Every structure is written in structure tokens, then in C-alpha cells.
Amino acid sequence: MRPASDPEIAALIAAQQWELREAHGGLAGQATETRDDVRYLAVVVNGRAVACGGIQALDSGTGEIKRMYVRPAFRGRGIGRQLLVALEEVAFQQGLHTLCLETATYLPAAIALYTSGGYASVPLFGEYVGKAYSVCFAKRLPLAA
């Protein structure tokens, strides 16, 4: 797990925010906010971080997936799915039983990834309430065998 201040994580987050601003002009002018309490996994290919995703604990049993991102040149290879599964494993090891997340209505590939991974649509929560472009999902993590 890496902090948001890790240079490779920071570069991936900046790339994600640039891409979101390009896809949806309504994000222009919003600052990229990172939090010290979010820890990130990075997917490294040939020595370069090409994807990241983080977990922020919301309470003793619930966490939020933050900043899932795969560089465009590496999409379609299953990296996002592998990262999602790895984040779920880390969350479970941290004692979390539920993961939630927010994505944008204009990101159908992300929505498809989450729904195919067992995430169900839930009402907007927290800072996402009232945001027209937000859609939220949650998944109860399976118990250990």
C-alpha cells in the first residue's frame, strides 16, 4: 500500500483527473483532492505504475474505493478487474466487510466493471449527494472460508 504522496500514485491521480475533466467539462476548475487516510495499490508493468486504486475506511466495517484508474494504453487487459479484486482482499484483511464507491454516469466501462464484480447500485452517499453525474455502488465482502 502506498500513500497519495507517492510520486507514481500522484502521477496516476493527476492523469485520472485530467481525463475526467476532458470527458466532462463540468469538472473544470475543481481541485484534485487527495487524502492522507487513503492508501493505494499500484499495478506495475515493466517497472512502471500503470494503474491504481485506494481504500479509505469510512467506519469500522465499511470502506470506500477511491481513484480507481488504469492508463488508457493498458485498458482491456483485465488490469482493472485484477486491481478491484486485490483492493477487496486488502479491505477484507483490514477488517472491512463492505466496500462502496462512486463513479460517474458518463463512465460506462467503470459501471460495467463494478456491476460485473458484484457491486449493486446504492443511493448517493456522503459528498456525492446531489451530484447529478455521480452513481454509487456497494458490495458486501464474502466471509473467509
Tell me if the pTM is above 0.75.
Answer: yes
The arithmetic mean of pLDDT across residues 61-77, rounded, is: 96
To which CATH superfamily is domain 2-99 assigned? Answer: Gcn5-related N-acetyltransferase (GNAT) (3.40.630.30)
Listed in order, strand segments (DSSP E) in 14-97 are: 38-45, 48-57, 62-70
Q: So where are the chain's domains?
A: 2-99
Angstrom distance (rounded) from CA 5 to CA 36: 8
3-state secondary structure (DSSP) of residue 107? coil
Residues in the chain: 145
Angstrom distance (rounded) from CA 71 to CA 61: 30
Specify the range with the lowest mean pLDDT, choosing from 8-12, 23-27, 38-42, 121-125: 23-27
pLDDT of residue 35: 57
